[in-house]
Amino acid sequence: MKKYISFFIVFGILFSVFSFPGYAAGSYLDNTASKPTLSDAMKVFRYLGGKAELAESQKFQANANKDYSITLIDAMRFFMVVSGKSESLRRPEDTEGVNFFYQKNEFMNSVIGCEGSYYSPIVYPDGTFAINSSNKYRKQYITFGVKDITSKINWYNSDGWLPCLVSEYDSTFFKIKIENFADMVIENGKYYEVVFSRMSVENKSGSEKLLPLVSSKATPINDAAKNIYSVLPGQTVVRDYATASDNFTENISLPNIRELKNIGSFDDHYISMRSYWQERIESIVNISKLPDERLINAYKAGYVYTLIIKDGYSLNVGENGYDGFWDHDAIGISSTLFTLGDFEYAKEYLSSLVYENVQYDDAAWKYSYPFALYLMKTGDIAFIKEKFEHIKTATHKIEADFDNELGIMKQTYAIDSHGYWTIDDFSALMGLTTYKYICEAIGNSEEVVWAKEMYDTLLKGANAAMEKLQREKEISYISVSPMYTTEDLLVPENANWASMFLFGRWTWEGYLFGGEQGGILLDQIDKTYEFGFKRLFGDNKIEYNFGGYPGYSSGYNAGYGLAALRGEQYRDCGIKAYQFMLDNTQSSPFGWWEGIPTNTGCESVEGMNIVYGTGSCPHMWGQSLCTKVLLESLITEKSDGTVIIGRGIPAEWINEEIEVDNYPVKSGRLGFNLSLTDKTLTLTLSGNIPNEGVSLELSALKNNIKTASCQYNNETGIVTVPSGIASVYIELK
């Protein structure tokens, strides 16, 4: 009986639509709970259309089955085509066997969402997005009906960095623009993440055309989306939709959009979304001027992606892969957040870190590092004392894992293969350095002595093991293993040749925390970079690409340049490796896969280069390390309070203005501006200038200083700015 009632409802509405053109079909959708079934719709089509061909009916049925539900709008469109009333509105993309762009390019994706949501939507270049993205059994795709893309897709972040992904392209009849972002909606005290989508369609043909069919899972929220089904030549129709995607819990039960009374408009929520992220961005270091503006947007977008991909306070690595907590990854991600000056949820992040029963041994060894960084930036000794027993337990695992016979750390799977690895010696040295810093700060002299003795023993043993290997194998670089040469273990394209320089963290960050460094593990930094690049590129120009696992490249690429800041010859390779990523390895706007096996290229999406990767994209551990090397190439603080400016800035940037502010230091927040007029370089400091002074260390100043307004060393290019001085003038040769 219900079936026939539904039939007559559909019959009546369709009859009314075509008999009375002024009738608004959208009002029917808003005022009735009835929904025609596929069977009902087919009966109406057969009765009213009369000439409906079997092939068209089968096509409609097939498309309906794919979409799982039929709306009145779908039924009307089908009737208009098969009845002959609007033959000119037929869409060329309605062809069986033709895939959407995302189906052919599933590895080109990005992420949108709210901070801390659990199931952030995955977005594709054609505007398609997926909800329930982490559950392959409940994953649903929201499409916008365009399969016949005839141009390159222009895919980018709104305002350069916001988590609103914009797709622009042409189809046979239309110019298309799709915008997707997520915002929070509050209903009866409950929080929901909702995706807001805007599809702008301009008819570039010479006749009226039927609008592309948007997935029924996206609910219309403006009049055009509810009531307009075709577009006249030269006109543009803008349709807005909303789709619930998350409820900020691990339970993925979601409401129907029509149940949310406070849904609001696309424009209102765009303003809300933009205001939220602008406020979050204002809390961190502001990089306002660089010669390569892409780096600024990559920096901002990377920060936003990090907050979207985390689940609550769990600093997850990815959304479309690695959607979980990985202990040594979280140490790196949290450390970058503290370096940027984001302490909003610092205690929650630190409390989430694992200090025993770790996934990776180095997570215990380096457990003290983010705590030490938090202490250095905030002075919050009370919280450190509260967590000290955890820090102590984790750090003392170094002694238990130390191989007394060899004088190095035990065998691990640090680079996803079992063996003795230099990265492990560096990781343990880093952990001991920051643990000693913490113990000194809280006045635990007994643990200070233990940390120093353990550090000295390990440093001596690690240097001795590497020296022995170098003598026996006649090499002059730091090998990936203290037992075997890099050539014996890795092909040139395996980026793990530089693993200790990135994941070990000791070379540069150990220096910042006052670790006593020496021996070939320090002296051969430049030689090791030279060795790795020569294996990759021979005598050709260095491309600042470190390789993959193995393969073309990785999402960590820029991060491998971090240790070069401690050397001399390749100090700018962190920034240049980041530029390489922007030029060659993006799979989405400011999004990179962890592993990038090949450089197959992408001709369909403007500015995107990689169509396949492994791990996740965006990959937040990799992105956090790229962020860290960018920032510390510009400005960084040592544990003694000294600030270093410009150590990794490329020499050729000397002619361009650089400006950074809101950098967290012990005394508050610090900023600087570098500008060149004629032959005079001016450094201007702003904010809370540190009492310990500033060291300007531009590579462009080496043997290039004629005179300066304060003490300088022409050979090293270092200008020492004492406390209380806000402006420095350097005349170049």
Whether residues 225 and 323 fall in one domain: no
| Cα–Cα distance measured from residue 297 to residue 287, given in angstroms and rounded to the nearest whole number | 9
Asked whether residue 91 is domain-assigned, the answer is no
Whether residues 513 and 458 fall in one domain: yes
With contact defined as beta carbons under 8 Å apart, do 421 and 415 qualify?
A: yes
The number of C-alpha atoms within 13 Å of 450 and in the hemisphere containing its C-beta is 14
* C-beta neighbour count of 4 within 10 angstroms: 10
Q: Which DSSP category does 403 fall into?
A: E
* C-alpha dihedral, 504 to 509 to 515 to 517, nearest 10°: 70
Whether residues 220 and 187 fall in one domain: yes
Q: Which DSSP category does 562 fall into?
A: G
CA 726 to chain centre: 35
* C-beta neighbour count of 260 within 10 angstroms: 19
Asked whether residue 593 is domain-assigned, the answer is yes
Whether residues 540 and 657 fall in one domain: no
| Cα–Cα distance measured from residue 352 to residue 282, given in angstroms and rounded to the nearest whole number | 25
Whether residues 520 and 632 fall in one domain: yes
With contact defined as beta carbons under 8 Å apart, do 217 and 140 qualify?
A: yes
| Cα–Cα distance measured from residue 607 to residue 297, given in angstroms and rounded to the nearest whole number | 14
With contact defined as beta carbons under 8 Å apart, do 662 and 687 qualify?
A: yes
Whether residues 270 and 289 fall in one domain: no
Spatial strand order in the sheet of 643-645: 635-637, 643-645, 694-696, 718-721, 712-713
Asked whether residue 94 is domain-assigned, the answer is no
Spatial strand order in the sheet of 236-246: 154-157, 165-170, 174-187, 190-203, 236-246, 219-220
Of the three residues 56, 85, 114, the one that is the final residue of a domain is: 85
Asked whether residue 90 is domain-assigned, the answer is no
Instruction: Write out pLDDT tens, residues 423-474.
Output: 999 999 999 999 999 999 999 999 999 999 999 999 999 999 999 999 999 9
Whether residues 546 and 618 fall in one domain: yes
Domains held by the chain: number: 4
Instruction: Report the pLDDT value the prediction gives residue 4, as an integer from 0 to 100.
Output: 38
Of the three residues 256, 279, 302, the one that is the final residue of a domain is: 279
Residue 170 in 3-state DSSP?
A: strand
Whether residues 249 and 304 fall in one domain: no
* C-beta neighbour count of 290 within 10 angstroms: 20
* C-beta neighbour count of 66 within 10 angstroms: 10
Residue 67 in 3-state DSSP?
A: helix
Query: Can you list the residues of the chain whose pLDDT is less than 70?
Result: 1-98, 133-138, 252
Domain of 724, CATH number, reads 2.60.40
CA distance to 68, 81, 321, per residue, from 56 (Å): 18, 9, 40
Whether residues 254 and 349 fall in one domain: no
Of the three residues 591, 620, 637, the one that is the final residue of a domain is: 637
- C-alpha angle 536-579-370 in degrees, rounded to nearest 5: 95
With contact defined as beta carbons under 8 Å apart, do 160 and 297 qualify?
A: yes
Instruction: Write out pLDDT tens, residues 140-172.
Output: 999 999 999 999 999 999 999 999 999 999 999
Question: Which alpha helices (DSSP H) does 101-240 contain, by range?
Answer: 101-104, 223-227
Domain of 289, CATH number, reads 1.50.10.10
With contact defined as beta carbons under 8 Å apart, do 83 and 51 qualify?
A: yes
Whether residues 454 and 371 fall in one domain: yes
Asked whether residue 699 is domain-assigned, the answer is yes
Asked whether residue 92 is domain-assigned, the answer is no
Contacts of 386 (CB under 8 A, 6+ apart): none
Asked whether residue 96 is domain-assigned, the answer is no
Whether residues 502 and 605 fall in one domain: yes
- E strand or H helix that includes residue 385: helix 381-386
Give the range of the structural domain holding residue 75, as residue numbers without chain letter. Answer: 2-85
Whether residues 49 and 121 fall in one domain: no
Asked whether residue 529 is domain-assigned, the answer is yes
What are 286's strand-pairing partners?
661
| Cα–Cα distance measured from residue 609 to residue 604, given in angstroms and rounded to the nearest whole number | 9
